Structure formats: structure tokens, C-alpha cells
Amino acid sequence: DTVLTQSPALAVSPGERVSISCRASEGVNSYMHWYQQKPGQQPKLLIYKASNLASGVPARFSGSGSGTDFTLTIDPVEADDTATYFCQQSWNDPDTFGAGTKLELK
């Protein structure tokens, strides 16, 4: 299976820019997607196919990358962005998810 590696946690101050990385153990083309999960809630799609903003998602969120290295950027970060962020690839079978990056606000 394709392993997706994310850093476990980040802490930033409101108004700053933050980049969350996801590295795949093998190429996934551009078929990387990003989700936000707040405590007690279901995940919510933010970015699909590496760089496409999902419907209703603020433009503060953006995605980039291809192949094995991908980045989710939030600029500027707001207090409401406190959550865990997951990447998911759908290029190789089976679909796999990263373990998540917990974003905390200072």
C-alpha cells in the first residue's frame, strides 16, 4: 500500500502562514486530496487533485505538489483552523490516508 507521511503536529499564531506536508512512498500523480477534521466532527474535503479548492472552502486554503510531495497551505491562519488535517491518495489501490497533522493555534 502507498504510505502517506505527515508531520504529527504544528503550532502557529493567527495571521501567520502554515504549510502542512504529505509525502507518498510512491508516485500518486496529482491524485492527492486534503481533509480537515475538527474534534467530534467528520472530515471535510478542502482540496482535491492536489490544487483544486473544494466547494465552499475559503481561498485561504491552497494545495500544491505532484508525484510524491504535496503541501497544504493556509494563509492567513485563523483561530477556527484548529483541527487535524489529513491527506489521501486515490491513484494507487487501495486508497490510503496519512495519519494526520494536528494544527494548534498559539
Residue 97, interface with other proteins (CB under 8 A)? yes
Which are the contacts of 12, defined by CB distance < 8 A and separation ≥ 6? 18, 77, 103, 104, 105, 106
Residue 53, interface with other proteins (CB under 8 A)? no
For residue 73, what is its C-alpha cell? 497551505
25-44 binders of other proteins (CB under 8 A): 31, 33, 35, 41-44
DSSP alpha helices (H): ranges in 2-106? none
Residue 70, interface with other proteins (CB under 8 A)? no
Residues lying near other proteins in the complex (CB under 8 A) are found at 1, 31, 33, 35, 41-45, 48-49, 52, 54, 86, 88, 90-91, 93-97, 99-100
